[in-house]
Structure 1
Amino acid sequence: MSVANILGIYVAPAKGAGVIGHQKVSLRAGKGIEGDRYFSQTGKNRSNYKGQPDWEITLIESEVIEAFNQEKGHSFHDSDFRRNLVTQGIRLNDLVGRFFTINNVSFYGVQLCEPCASLQRRLAVSILPELVGKGGLRAQIRGNGVIGVGDQLTPVEKI
């Protein structure tokens, strides 16, 4: 099994605001990333999926971004996709319905984080249907702690 790492961490402090990169962030179970718009409950998309909150943190694979840029001739930065964590070395779709850890903080993969028309408008290029099924993961934060760029992401076999 290859090692999965966190390559980038991004937070948007308010709806419509640009994302800000961080080397480390504090997480709170059931709340999200401190400083993120959803943590402060000002975010519009606080939602549930099959009774599970799915707004606490989002992830996307750097490999998906690289492939999209290469195939379409773009040069988007990882932060342009507006996910909180950019990963390398793991297929996030495989984490739906599973627990995983980053720096001893527990997470639960709730559902895929599909690209939306809002992101497509922001990027001003077609991402639908190109990124359907590849847009990342929505997850719950199940523990408190600090995570940082370079930390390993590890799937948990069983709880």
Structure 2
Amino acid sequence: MPLDPASPLARLIDGPLRTGRVIWIGLRPARRKAMLAVESAQLDPTEGLIGDHYSSRTGGARHVTLIQAEHLSAIASHLGRDALAPELLRRNIVVAGINLAALKGRHFRLGSAVLEATGECHPCSRMEEILGTGGYNSVRGHGGITARVVEGGSVGVGGAMERMPAP
């Protein structure tokens, strides 16, 4: 059942949200291949994240995967590590300063592109392989979100990410 837009909870959910910034971009050139860190990327409504092998295989629901930098620290802590390289989690874009959960079901601007949050990005069984014993459970609840590209554009490291007003 949809939330009444006039309710106090709806007003809180649609309340102010700080603009975030992109701190890392990675492309997966092929299945199980190492991620390639890039300074900028193109996003297309049909193909998704250009250069990423996974982007167009899911009908758009998972064109792009995003994770919060703040969650990298949490995952590292769960693993008993000081830090965690973003490419280990195989997410495309790492952002800082914005709560991705506040984008649920919403459109947001990422650089000059417009995306729609489509769901949570749950860990896969590879997290045990990549991060070691306990890797899967360390990522649970911290895996970020998936998104589809609504309007194409480009994004670069240092670029802004902001939630768009509710329709």
The TM-score by the shorter chain falls in which range? 0.7 to 0.9
TM-score scaled to structure 2, two decimals? 0.82
Which of 11, 21, 29 is equivalent to 2:45? 29
Structure richer in helix, relative to its length: 2
Which of 33, 52, 58 is equivalent to 1:47? 58
State the 4+ residue runs in structure 1 displaced beyond 4 angstroms: none
Alignment gaps of 5+ in structure 2: 1-16
- Tell me the CA shift for residue 103 of structure 1: 2.0
SS in 2 for 1:142: strand
CA distance in 1, matches of 2:145, 2:46: 16
Verify the 8 A CA contact 2:79 2:135 in the aligned structure 1: no
> Highest Rg: 1 or 2?
2
Number of aligned positions between the proteins: 150
Verify the 8 A CA contact 2:44 2:50 in the aligned structure 1: yes
CA distance in 2, matches of 1:130, 1:12: 22
Superposed CA RMSD in Å reads 1.7
Alignment of 1:11-22 (within 5 A): 11-22=27-38
Comparing 70-79 with 60-69, greater Cα deviation is found at 70-79
CA distance in 2, matches of 1:85, 1:35: 13
Find the counterpart in structure 1 of residue 152 from structure 2: 144
Identity of aligned residues (%): 25
Matched, 1:62 2:78: no
Verify the 8 A CA contact 1:15 1:37 in the aligned structure 2: yes
Alignment gaps of 5+ in structure 1: none
TM-score scaled to structure 1, two decimals? 0.86
